[in-house]
Structure 1
């Protein structure tokens, strides 16, 4: 899988893992350490207010991610996007009641086709989407023991304030003695501005060896705002080239189903991801070939180029 590279908040890099020249490192690292320290201080201060006296001693995986993406398209106009995403984690708050602060909730990312178009850069900045702040109560079980349930509620930070409720339920099964794992992720939400939405995701996968991981995803989604049932089917092969580089080869089908099921788009994509500096600076290159229904499934190419930087206090502390 791409897990070693896909999320910098889960990566602890070696000190010499960099492709950058010395002059670039000298300019980047002081700025990065200052911003990462600020992210860490803010999250720990909030955690200390709501949590326990252990807030300075435990690991805190809060992060801020900035990104710049260029999309080159054959038929449509090119696109250039600046992205920002943040997430505050408060590990010492009560075990089953936590404060959550997060940018761009999933429910505000549009249809499945909209989400697929920005799949590897979730967190595209759009001031109209806003951030959410609320409380989340977790159940007693973890998803590998039983159903892991969470109930949360709060407001989306925009004017007028937008209250929301969300229920999620997850389950992870190991299929006998085989290497296959099946995960199910269900979500039911209500936002005052957009109404109800429901989403079910099935994630089936297995390692083929130390470098390859095979994965199949099926997602169903209904949103009151769009009033249609959508589906997303994806098969992917993930290859870990080395500890800092990975490839993902994908075949995807997107469609909608109700009275007249139909496929809206097929596409093939190859994503190359490279950690170019110590687990904080990443480059993605993703060419794809699309077959959209709106042009009678005539093929058209697309290339995404993306640069992203993560700020996380624990990277500084290590």
Structure 2
């Protein structure tokens, strides 16, 4: 959902207006691979990067009408857009994705780990299959995407940016989010190790932790934990900004972390949650 105007005294930036009005071309000439980018947060990151001069590889597990819209939006902005279908939790597919991206673009300057496979289950009902499914896809996939990207960036020289999408669920618990929260907390810890182990390479590794985001990835059947009107009614009173976040809010932070403006930011997890973690209680 993309809103215009103001909410609770805070401006909600309409689509098409990126950081600093989208006119600074902060990523001119950069080559970015965004996983989970056919729609939602990933799709918006692809658009904002293209608005700022980057060529973009779009990954997702399926190619549908939403994926076509994202690819078309990048191309309309005059940037190269390539499609890379893969399940990042499957090693052969993941490696093929990188091989194809490098063949198309010649190098990789930015990786955004965004692929999402959330499954909310009460703790007492957890099955090993649930654990293997989420740890094996989200956490494993993010780790080994980051490893491949970092190795390529080291070979290329000149540094790079690796950004992973974490969650406010990594800082606090909600019902049914045990495995999801563990996965996202693991990403926060991952970037600490990457910052240390990649010291001196010019590569930075950071996480963005969104709060409640109005996005179609948040579907009603996952209410009250991940989406739907019922969840919006529950979540927004907890947010000091008194609105849900937009995919563009997360994309603008990704733009900052992908650009030279963030060159001294490394190993961090940045909350973009409208104050949810700071407040968290309704009036």
TM-score norm. by structure 1 comes to 0.30
Bigger strand fraction = 1
Return the index of the structure with the highest Cα Rg: 1
TM-score norm. by structure 2 comes to 0.32
